[in-house]
Amino acid sequence: MLIGVPKEIKKNENRVALLPVGAATLIQSGHKVVVEANAGAGSSFSDEDYKKAGAEIANTPEEIFANADMIMKVKEPIDKEYQMIREGQIVFTYFHFAASKELTEAMMKSKCVGIAYETVQKADRSLPLLIPMSEVAGRMAPQEGAKYLEKVMGGRGILLGGVPGTGPAGVIVLGGGIVGTNAAKIAAGFGASVTIFDNNLYRLRYLDDVMPKNVTTMMSNEYYIRAALPKADLVIGAVLIPGAKAPHLITKDMLSIMKEGSVVVDVSVDQGGCIETCKPTTHANPTYVVDGVLHYCVANMPGAVPHTSTLALTNATLPYAVEIANKGYEAAIKTNNEIKLGLNVIDGKITYKGVSDAFGLPYHTVESVIK
């Protein structure tokens, strides 16, 4: 199979869908890889690195889309790419179809085979191609929090770990899933006094077992959160109710019981945020202040660390890409339920219920389109 890797063209997207080592792996399996010139530059991988791995370099995206059997991308295709995607071409990337009718209709029109990273799902219902970005955002959250707690950045002027004789900063983590667990681990590593709130007692039991001594677990309810807020220097929002808007665990009136100059990092901003006063911001302008509390609500936090994010993402995507390339998409979908769940559009038909429901478009079972 010929696998094509175009350069990402969405604004501020510096990740790339395949590493040189990934190209080498696919080539070893008998495939050909073509990478657009400079596709890896934003993540610090040069064309020379890809050439050494055995890939060819193409100067334009047109060359890649015109010839590749499978396109590997990071972000959903945008307008300029719609026309280049061909009938029967596999496109393996993040699509987030439910967020855009235009994209859904464009991919239906192209009759491509759209396999979406975000809906590839394991038997335990975990989403293996979303987890790496949650890990990155979770580990970044205390790092950003620590930065904005500095006086010159607008914060209280407090060091997360403190020093002997001063006591550590207080960190609250709302939600103890992938983001929350990673955030708590890093904040604890800094030496902060960390409290994780979750409403799942089984999750709290697990966290209590694995977290270091400076992490406390608490059942999530308004009473306990209100009691903890006056002592917090940093609050990290990491709640998720799948398929729904995040619940507002901190309402606007609760900001008044927080310390002046404290910081909130709401990672769950992409689902509306679990802090009522949170609204999406960008890396160019990441923060704003409400009632004396500094808010950091960047919707694509992993974008700030594209090298790490690319490594984390491609570690997870490569085995699926190899399987699709080796078996062909039909056999890969028939034999691997995780890949089958990733199929969202094929031959102009929607095969993912959530997407058809989002736009009232007809739904087709995978079995009805791949016999």
Q: Name the site residues for ligand NAD (rule: CB under 6 A).
A: 133-134, 137, 174-180, 197-200, 203, 220, 238-241, 247, 249, 267-271, 299-302
Neighbours of 241 (CB within 10 A): 13
* Nearest distance from C-beta of residue 318 to ligand NAD, angstroms: 20
Neighbours of 145 (CB within 10 A): 28
* Nearest distance from C-beta of residue 359 to ligand NAD, angstroms: 21
* Nearest distance from C-beta of residue 104 to ligand NAD, angstroms: 20
Beta-sheet pairing, 263-266 with 193-198: unpaired
Nearest to ligand NAD of 249, 294 (CB atom) = 249
Running DSSP on this structure, what letter comes out for residue 238? Answer: -
Nearest to ligand NAD of 53, 174 (CB atom) = 174
Give the long-range contacts of residues 279-287, CB within 8 A, separation 24 or more. 282/12, 283/12, 284/12, 286/144, 287/148, 287/154
Sequential DSSP letters for 204-237: HHHHHHHS-TTEEEEE--HHHHHHHGGG-SEEEE
* Nearest distance from C-beta of residue 242 to ligand NAD, angstroms: 7
* Nearest distance from C-beta of residue 241 to ligand NAD, angstroms: 5
Nearest to ligand NAD of 155, 180 (CB atom) = 180
Q: One of 96, 248, 307, 364 is an active-site residue; which one?
A: 96
Nearest to ligand NAD of 145, 302 (CB atom) = 302
- Residue 96 known to be catalytic: yes
Nearest to ligand NAD of 25, 181 (CB atom) = 181
* Nearest distance from C-beta of residue 47 to ligand NAD, angstroms: 29
Q: Kindly give the residue spans of alpha helices, DSSP state H, lying in the chain.
A: 20-28, 47-52, 61-67, 79-82, 101-110, 131-148, 178-190, 201-210, 222-228, 306-327, 329-335, 337-342, 353-359, 366-369
Nearest to ligand NAD of 142, 175 (CB atom) = 175
- Residue 270 known to be catalytic: yes
Of 320, 366, 317, which Cα lies nearest the Cα of 343? 366
The token pair at 43 is: 């993540």
| Rounded Cα distance, 298 and 6, in Å | 26
Q: Whose CB is nearest to ligand NAD?
A: 177
Neighbours of 335 (CB within 10 A): 11
Q: One of 69, 198, 266, 270 is an active-site residue; which one?
A: 270
Of 364, 316, 354, which Cα lies nearest the Cα of 338? 316
The token pair at 362 is: 């007809």
Question: Which residues form the catalytic set?
Answer: 96, 270
